[in-house]
Structure 1
Amino acid sequence: MSFHTHTHTDYVQDVSPGSGALPPRAWYASSDAKSLSLNGNWRFRLSSTADAEDDSFAAEGYDAGDWAQIAVPGHWVLQGHGSPIYTNHLYPFPVDPPRVPTENPTGDHLRVFDLPAHWPDLAEGGAVLRFDGVESCARVWLNGTDLGEFKGSRLPHEFAVGHLLKAAGNVLAVRVHQWSAGSYLEDQDQWWLPGIFRDVTLLHRPAGAALDFFVHASYDHLAGTGTLRVDSDVDGRVTVSELGIDIATGESVTMPVEAWSAETPRLYEGTLATGGERVPLRIGFRTVDLSDGLIKVNGRPVLFKGVNRHEWHPERGRALDLETMREDVLLMKRHNVNAVRTSHYPPHPAFLDLCDAYGLWVIDECDLETHGFTEQGWRDNPVDDDRWTPALLDRASRMVERDKNHPSVVIWSLGNEAGTGRGLTAMAEWIKDRDSSRPVHYEGDPTCRDTDIYSRMYADHAEVERIGRGLDGGTLKRRQLPFILCEFAHAMGNGPGGLADYQRLFESYDRLQGGFVWEWIDHGIAYPELGFAYGGDFGEELHDGNFVCDGLLFPDRRPSPGFVEYKKVIEPVGITGAFGEATVRITNKQDFADLSALAFSWSYEVDGEPVESGTLAVPGLAPGESADVKLPAPPAGAPAGEAHWTVRAALAADTPWAPKDHVVAWGQIPVSERRVPTVTATARPAVGDNGVITLGPGTFDARTGALTAVGDVPVSGLRLDVWRATTDNDDGAPWQPDLRYGLLWRGLGLHRMRHRLDAVESGEHALTVRMRVAPAARELGLSTVYRWTSDGNRLRLTVSTVPEGDWTVPLPRLGIRFGLSTADGVRWYGGGPGEAYPDTRMASAVGRWQSTVDDLQTPYVRPQENGARIDVRWAELGGLRIEGDPAFSLTARRWTTEQLDAATHLTDLTSGDTVWVNLDHGQHGIGSQSCGPGPLPQYHLRAEPAEFSFVFSTAPAPETS
């Protein structure tokens, strides 16, 4: 057999989708036909260019004994061969479509396999070789025969191979190129990771087996009936034993059924039997339609509480196993997420099986994005070039045919950020002709020419409200369409802020059918020397830094504070009440299910301590219904103090996604006001001969007025603090210069404030220190007065600040900072247990909490301001008890804010000998302007006169366990 060396200008740079692959068809996990997984260790050779090696390696008998071994599924750049590259939208190669560079890393893969025992007679049946995902272009040989080549990285491709198989010693050879013409269609804000990253499977195809089938399972919500028809390219029979169904393919049957929804994911197990094969069916009866300007499922409008999900694992990249996918789905369900947009490509097909089973609405998105062409005004954009249309249609058809039988898939998406053009129109027309049962989504065309949904990214709250009220203008078609935010609330670093404000809008206007937070998980790559690596850490000459770390989960799949906040914001049950009221208002915010699956309980708490608890009888409210439920009388003999009712809704029984007693919603109702700490100024400042002033338990430097100790607890560096280590959202996006508060703050010099001592005044019952706090090179500043008083046992500090000069931007923070020589355990009464900021505080519950200093930190991949506990009434750490008037925000860490600000990775932070404590009167909001809007005006920390107090006393060190 002869072999031909393909030139670099051959199939790699051809705009066609490929050659030799079979037509797309429905995917299913298993049947009673034989299959063989070819996952595992493969021999591997990496070349620096597409033409560096000939294809003789594909011949039988080729000796690859000196080649490396890599795992398939996998990416070779994550297994020690080359390096990953991260760009947001810039192509990491010259934009010259369809051509790609000669420097084109190319991986040759070899796998030798035997057929398992009892494989059907090779002379009788066919077989297909299936690749579920290869980036970005592959050519395939089996036993020396060239099967063909394909592009479309996140899509399946099959080859007929039955005539080539042998009982033993089959040689499968695959050449994978990192870059191809297809790369121009896959510019999807993620790591560029070449390789065979999804499953490779050999499937026996018995004679007479179906090549494809389409399950049509609609639901009539008025009649409560479902209609089933299964179309197949060959005759067969469909059975659903539970429903007593036994019909021929192509026939329809209608019967009473339970509908499928994301809240009640009822599936019926069935079988499609054709010649030689029985295929399992998982049937969910549901109907999606657009009526009254709304997306409805089974006759009801739905509110999407969604996430955008890239596939990611910190060690394996996009090579996900089933358990990791299941973990994703369980985390979503346990955090009240009900929808997933598969940004920006179809997921591993097994993920959709999980969505069917556990219940998630899915926007299934095509493997298409050409975002880099925005750099040239969309000139030469492939989606508006007829030469590329066959490739676009191939991608659309492979998505639809693969995933059409999943009830969870309720919307098809043409792709993401690909501009506009004739190719998108062709895709939309093909999809609607093939499957008219689902609407079509695409965000990038403001005219909505090819879509059934008006979709936007990162529209701010004011614009979203205008859209909800129908005041947004645009084409007539657009004004008549339902609206979703396919991306909002950019979850990069600390944040996102403003989630609750968005959700209030979604729940106020019918047209606003929710949104999808960007995004699911930080794409940090495990890297021991750095913690997790991001763009630029592999020496990329072109990269977008940590913009790839913008998820609700940390790379190791620990929920971030932002995800905990999102869970609270999108609770399926509203639990509200006014101060001092004896009733609680319960609202069922679900679209389909009543409240019968939930058990409600109450707890009466005083100063954060539970006094009594019990169950609460709540009617099984239908979706959208509310009821006022009477609370019991406050417990007799309850101690005096600040009291709250806490009402919780939890699962009444185990479910497939969470155990009994898992809390899905909660609310707190204040009963009485807190007691504000008072200190009667009776102690007198005493000036000693040793340059020390004492006032009650406080010791001060007589020259500077600086506090040096409270009792026997040393205190250092106490001063006004206005700086925070800027968050990703503070630093903002380059295209939003007015919202880049981090740059504005640095421009003013707020990160290097100077403290000028103006006076130390020892009065009859007070020590007063006057200072001016201001940045170098600027005339603005803060006139600051520290006034210390004591009753002999406790020490009160009252801080007064008055801004001077023209303050045109808000402050990052306003409070005091000081150092403690030792501190480990922390106890506090106030908001917790996790971090919270002015616009990320919904998940913060008033209670008594404890932690260690180390556990107060939030490990954002790029270090930044973190760890604040909000609404703190009192805190104990390092031998001090601190009470606030008003309540304050508490942060404690083993490094300074300046060290945190300078760090680029977690490994840059090392513990010092001092624990630095911030007691903040206020902080600026968080927002999500790393890509979205900044904090709403009500969350700005304006430079204006302020006064706040803290009371210090000594206290036993809290437990650290």
Structure 2
Amino acid sequence: MDLETFAPGSGRLEPRAALRSDAPALDLNGLWRFRLSPVADVPDDFARPGFDDSAWAELPVPAHWPLHGHGAPAYTNVSYPFPVDPPHVPDENPTGDYRRAFDLPDGWSGGRLRFEGVDSFARVWLNGHELGFSTGSRLPVEFDAGPWLRPGRNVLAVRVHQWSAASYLEDQDMWWLPGIFRDVTLTRSAADVFVHASHDGRLSFEAAEGRLSIPELGVRDLEPGVEITVGAEPWTAETPRLYEAVLTMPYETVRLRVGFRTVSIQDGVLLANGRPLLLKGVNRHEFHPLHGRAVPYETMREDVLLMKRHNVNAVRTSHYPPHPDFLDLCDELGLWVVDECDLETHGFGQVGWRRNPTDDPRWAEALLDRMRRMVERDKNHPSVIMWSLGNEAGVGRNLAVMADWTRERDPSRPLHYEGDWSCANTDVYSRMYASHAEVEAIGRGEEDPLDDPELDARRRAMPFLQCEYAHAMGNGPGGLAEYQELFERHPRLAGGFVWEWIDHGLAHPRHEYAYGGDYGEPLHDANFVIDGLVFPDRTPSPGLLDLKKVFEPVRFEFGDGVLRVLNRYDFRDLAHLAFRAVVEADGTPVAEFPLEVPPAGGEIELPALPPAEGTAGEHWLTVRAVLATDQPWAPAGHELAWTQTPLAPPAPPAPEPTRLPATPESRDGRLVLGGGEFDARTGRLLSLFGLDVEGPRLDLYRAPTDNDRYGGLDRQWRGLGLRRLTHRVDGVETGDGLTVRVRVAPAATDLGMRVAYTWTATSDDTLNLTVDVEPDGEWPGPIPRLGVHLTLPGEIAHVTWYGRGPGEAYPDTGMAARVGRWTATIDDLQTPYVYPQENGHRADVRWAEFGGPTGTPGFKVAGDPVFGLTARRWSTAELAAARHRPDLVAGDRVHLHLDLAQQGIGTATCGPGTLPRYDLHPAPATLRLRFTPA
């Protein structure tokens, strides 16, 4: 069968550029007739024009049939969901037959049938005549329809097989979703053009015929192959200047937008328009929770707008060329793009790379075909600055075939490929998930040498980029700021692309969002597809907010009465920004004023900023850089950068009269101290200012994050028994307060923590707690958290706190959290990760006030100096057991965690774990808290 052929297709026309033409065209999107068969070997009589399809279902095109009730999705990251026996595929091969009748307008002659994307093997008939077949799911293909078109009614029939030999080339980390998922068009356009436009104004083009005009630049009827120089403004992602061009041909007129820019490499530095370029990027799969890879235009635009608003300047199109409209948006709004070929053979790594297509000459034509179709389609986009040969496809001779052709066809763009660290066929040195230490070594040019001295010298002269880093799965990623500092310090480091843009959670009636295994797949990779910076509905995660902070185009440094403003743009000044400052006392604004910053940045004097007279508390100065006027991607006032610095503290308040510590009173088996009531035997707190409470108890465990689980830390913690601690009271002592001595330890080990809870009070409206912790035994590694846990009545519904916020923060995350006064409901404190896990921790809290409906007692807790705050309506055990958001059901208690410290987050789902400075190792520690009634 052709399904198992090495050939990429038959009957196809030569690939050409995606262009806007005035030639007549028919949009064939819409409802098609559809039939799904479980096997490939079914009669093709459906292709006859007179075939009766009235009993068939209707299916929208573009779409994936598993998302419309025909079969089910399946997710794997690396593993092929069929035996690795190339080029063979299983007999059980879901096969979709499509039919579409359309009327040809009067006078129509000739034309091409263009399919922008079909997964994975398509055979096409027009009016009963077979036009040919094609593979390469994320690439366009055209067939000559002219000889077979008829006046009036025409019937287009397409058979799509989910599995084919080509499936071995498409083992990307994503849902397996077959179908005609991009646009289908009948067009009479046959134009092709390749415009060459350099940042210094040089302009020429390649085309079989036609004349090029750019009226804005005074260019009229430029002939193919003739180079001229014009006074054009260069295109960059920061200043995406485009010029409308018109190619006039005998039978059609083509319009395209031209951007003048140059990409080069000099002395190991990646340059754009002759200046160093730092990529602040993300990897972007095409995904929509309802439509899979059939992403609507409005959603593509939303993606680009979100990226721009969060200081992202670059996209790697992992791991295939996107819909051409997405690249148009990158041209228009400004993003640097690494355009990646539709090639990945990752699953061959599980069989020792035996028979890997990348090194099998029988596959050379198919691999080259994919590269040609990408380059020809996307060659006119100024946003595309680099071609990528593919992803995780091992090494082999066919990479050279692809690279050699591409260099000859388009020498203006460097080549990228990460899978061969020798970089034999690339122009940049690319890696995935290299640690901070290794990135620094590479930046210094001190990486481990290759065995081949010539290749080693060649690689050392290349720029370095991390095509994937900071795996954004669940809570995280950690370590972003440290990576960015390295990228900015070493010129050789060209930046990188965070993995990845979006959680691939499919909308699900029971789970809310589904991941691998939720459709009964026998082989799957669970929630590894939930690894994005935005949730499936494109709500930014805390990780994206942190990334925005790390990618800021403006940096601030405070000196003695001065503010240094540093321009981190690569190509533009700061004239489009406005700068504003505010002084706050304990989160309340007490002074606001604008700052006059020169376009180049520099040092400016700050006005006198003593703490405002009569205002107590901490004083902070916050400086913000916002858009001064509307931009195509954000309105005026949109914040791009900010910083804070503490000011001199106000004069201390007059000391209160000295009070003797209160002595606990015994009442009916309880000890009463300040606003607290305690069990006289165990010293356990029972009531706090009239609230029924349980705890506090030392807590060492957290519901594991994805990084904890995949990186192995949670396995260690479970092995230690940290989720099943026992608490033994060794003593209850009264005097000037109450001291409860407890040994906290899990079963089956001699390790533990000795804890002293010391309560004191000087009046009825205060209660002070000091928690002294002493490790017992030699602990083998870091622990998840160190703090206390108590529960409150469910009526407690909201909290106001002064500390960092408004979002969550952990030791190596939370760069987006700033010091201020914040208010939220208990429910709103939760970060709704698709896969439930530790979340919602507010850091460096000075005080927090809890309350409920009118009449419900409330209280305030203050730190000496700070604490970490987490509050939720389910326990850590319930959170750890949940697999989907709906599994979390609010109980009748609020679980409050007041932490001294937590373990860092890291990026160990894929990449390095937590940096050593963010590890939480057991050590003597003290947590001090002060409780007062609200």
- Measured against the shorter chain, the TM-score band is over 0.9
1:860-871 matches, cutoff 5 A: 860-871=833-844
1:683 shift after superposition: 4.1
Cα 1:452–1:676 shift into 2, 3 Å? farther
List per-residue Cα deviations over 1:309-348 (Å, max 9, x = no partner).
0000001000011100000000000000000000000000
Q: Secondary structure at the match of 2:911?
A: coil
SS in 1 for 2:206: strand
State the alpha-carbon separation in 1 of the partners of residues 112 and 164 from structure 2.
Answer: 25
Counterparts of 1:675 and 1:70, CA distance in 2 = 72
Q: Given the alignment of the two structures, is residue 238 of structure 1 paired with residue 212 of structure 2, yes or no?
A: yes
- TM-superposed CA distance for 1:762, in Å, is 1.0
Distance of 1:407 and 1:887 partners within structure 2: 50
The residue number in structure 2 matching 1:654 is: 630
- Partner of 1:904, secondary structure, is coil
Identify the match of residue 598 of structure 1 among 569, 572, 577.
Answer: 577
- Among 164, 171, 174, the alignment partner of 1:180 is 164
Q: CA RMSD in A?
A: 1.4
Q: Does 2:595 correspond to 1:616?
A: yes
Deviations 1:16-67 (A, max 9, x none): 1010111100002x3211111111111111101100x201001011111111
Match of 1:784 among 726, 734, 755: 755
Relative distance call for 1:506 and 1:915 in structure 2 (3 A) is same
Among candidates 359, 362, 365, match of residue 387 of structure 1: 362
Partner SS state of residue 169, structure 1: strand
The answer as to whether partners of 1:131 and 1:201 remain within 8 angstroms in 2 is yes
Partner of 1:744 in structure 2? 716
Written as runs of structure 1 = structure 2, the 5 A alignment for 1:471-870 is 471-474=446-449, 475-577=456-558, 581-621=560-600, 626-634=602-610, 636-637=612-613, 639-672=615-648, 682-732=660-710, 739-763=711-735, 765-792=736-763, 793-821=765-793, 822-870=795-843
Task: In structure 1, give the amino acid aligned to 2:137.
Answer: S
1:885 aligns with 2:884: no
Seq. identity, %: 59
Q: Is the 8 A contact 1:683 1:695 kept in 2?
A: no
Mapped to 2, the partners of 1:695 and 1:372 lie a distance apart of 65
Residue number among 140, 144, 153 corresponding to 1:156 in the alignment: 140
Q: List alignment gaps of at least 5 residues for structure 2.
A: 450-455, 852-857
1:897 aligned partner? 876
Between the aligned partners of 1:512 and 1:772, the Cα distance in structure 2 is: 50
Q: Aligned partners of 1:79 and 1:626: how far apart in 2?
A: 57
CA–CA distance in structure 1, aligned partners of residues 608 and 163 of structure 2: 67
Q: Does 1:38 align with 2:28?
A: yes
Q: Separation in 1 of the partners of 2:389 and 2:603?
A: 42
The letter of the residue matching 1:71 is: P
- Measure, in 1, the Cα distance between the counterparts of 2:921 and 2:631: 47
Structure 1 residue 170, shift from structure 2 partner: 1.1
Q: Distance in 2 between matches of 1:449 and 1:58?
A: 47
Deviation at 1:126, TM superposition (A): 2.2
Deviation at 1:94, TM superposition (A): 0.2
Change (3 A) 1:501 1:631: farther
Letter in 1 for 2:330: C
CA–CA separation in structure 2 for the residues paired with 1:175 and 1:485: 40
Instruction: Look up the SS of the partner of 2:883 in the other structure.
Output: coil
Does structure 1 retain, via aligned residues, the 8 Å contact 2:580–2:594? yes
Q: Distance in 2 between matches of 1:638 and 1:219?
A: 58
- Is the Cα contact below 8 Å between 2:430 and 2:464 reproduced in 1? yes
Counterpart amino acid of residue 834 in structure 2: V
Work out the CA distance in 2 between the residues paired with 1:82 and 1:219: 51
What pairs up with 1:152-231 in 2 under 5 angstroms?
152-205=136-189, 210=191, 212-220=192-200, 226-231=201-206
List per-residue Cα deviations over 1:461-496 (Å, max 9, x = no partner): 011111111110331111111100000000000000
Q: CA deviation at 1:626?
A: 4.2
Q: Tell me the CA shift for residue 250 of structure 1.
A: 2.4
The count of corresponding residues between Structure 1 and Structure 2 is: 917
Are the aligned partners of 2:615 and 2:650 in contact in 1 as well (CA < 8 Å)?
no
**Cα displacement string for residues 927-949 of structure 1 (whole angstroms, at most 9, x for unaligned residues):** 00000111111111110000011
Q: Distance in 2 between matches of 1:216 and 1:550?
A: 38
1:505-540: CA deviations, max 9, x gaps?
A: 111111111010000000001002101000001101
Is residue 710–residue 953 contact of structure 1 (8 Å, CA) maintained in 2?
no
2:590–2:612 CA contact under 8 A, matched in 1: no
In structure 1, what is the Cα distance between the partners aligned to 2:602 and 2:705?
A: 39
Aligned to 1:136: 120
Q: Which of 874, 892, 898 in structure 2 is aligned with 1:913?
A: 892
Measured after TM superposition, the shift of residue 627 of structure 1 is: 3.1
Q: Which amino acid aligns with 2:754?
A: S
Could you tell me how far apart the structure 2 residues matched to 1:562 and 1:725 are? 18
Q: How big is each residue's C-alpha offset from its partner over 1:614-668, in whole Å with a ceiling of 9 and x where there is no partner?
A: 10011111xxx64354344347536132111100000010000000000000000
Alignment counterpart, residue 439 of structure 2, candidates 464, 474, 483? 464
| Ranges in structure 1 where 5+ consecutive residues have no aligned partner | 1-9, 221-225, 733-738, 956-961
Q: Are the equivalent residues in 2 in contact too, given 1:681–1:789 (CA < 8 A)?
A: no
- Contact 2:611/2:648 (CA < 8 Å) preserved in 1? no
CA deviation after TM superposition for structure 1 residue 231, in Å = 1.1
Could you tell me how far 1:588 is from its partner in structure 2? 0.4
Paired with 2:57 and 2:726, the residues of 1 have a C-alpha distance of 59
Is the 1:586–1:629 contact (alpha carbons within 8 Å) kept by the matching residues of 2?
no
Name the aligned partner's letter for residue 708 of structure 1: L
1:675 Cα deviation after fit = 10
CA distance in 2, matches of 1:24, 1:602: 55
Local SS of the residue matching 1:799: strand
1: CA distance between counterparts of 2:478 and 2:399?
34
Q: Residues of 2 paired with 1:115 and 1:631: CA distance?
A: 73
Question: 2: CA distance between counterparts of 1:491 and 1:279?
Answer: 41
- Residue in structure 2 matched with residue 4 of structure 1 by the alignment: none
- Determine if contact 1:534/1:546 at 8 Å carries over to the other structure: yes
- What is the CA–CA distance in structure 1 between the aligned matches of 2:830 and 2:696, rounded to whole Å? 21
Displacement, 1:430? 0.6
Picking from 69, 72, 75, the partner of 2:64 is 75
Q: 1:19 aligns with which of 1, 10, 18?
A: 10
Mapped to 2, the partners of 1:811 and 1:232 lie a distance apart of 65
**Residues 473, 479 of structure 1: 8 Å contact kept:** no
1:248 CA displacement: 2.0
Task: Provide, for residues 880-926 of structure 1, a one-character-per-residue CA deviation record: whole Å limited to 9, x for no partner.
Answer: 10101121111100000110000001111000000101111000000
Question: How far 1:560 moved relative to its partner?
Answer: 0.3
Rounded to whole Å, the distance in 2 between the matches of 1:171 and 1:204 is 18
Matched, 1:373 2:357: no
Query: Who is 1:114 aligned against?
Result: 103
Q: Against the structure 1 CA distance between its residues 676 and 753, is the aligned structure 2 distance closer, same or farther, given a 3 Å change threshold?
A: farther
Task: Return the alpha-carbon distance in structure 2 between the equivalents of residues 583 and 604 of structure 1.
Answer: 15
- Deviation, structure 1 residue 672: 3.0
Q: For residues 363 and 88 of structure 1, do their structure 2 counterparts lie closer, same or farther at Cα, with a shift above 3 Å needed?
A: same
8 Å Cα contact 1:641/1:672 also seen in 2: no
1:821-841: CA deviations, max 9, x gaps?
021111100000111101002
Query: What is the rounded CA distance, in whole Å, between the counterparts of 2:473 and 2:652 in structure 1?
Result: 37
CA distance in 1, matches of 2:596, 2:642: 15
In the superposition, relative to structure 1, how do residues 681 and 39 fare at CA in structure 2: closer, same or farther (>3 Å)? farther
Quote the Cα distance in structure 2 between the aligned partners of 1:715 and 1:729.
33
User: Match of 1:414?
Assistant: 389
TM-score, normalization by structure 1: 0.94
Give 1:596 shift: 0.5
Q: Does 1:102 align with 2:91?
A: yes
1:102-142 per-position Cα deviation (integer Å, ceiling 9, x unaligned):
000000011111134xx5x23xx420110000000010001
Contact 1:143–1:170, Cα closer than 8 Å, also in 2: yes
Distance (Å, rounded) in 2 between the aligned partners of 1:528 and 1:660? 40
Alpha-carbon contact 2:270-2:492 (below 8 Å) kept: no
Paired letter, 1:832 = G
- In the TM superposition, residue 576 of structure 1 has moved relative to its aligned partner by 2.7
Structure 2 residue 316 is matched with structure 1 residue 341:
yes
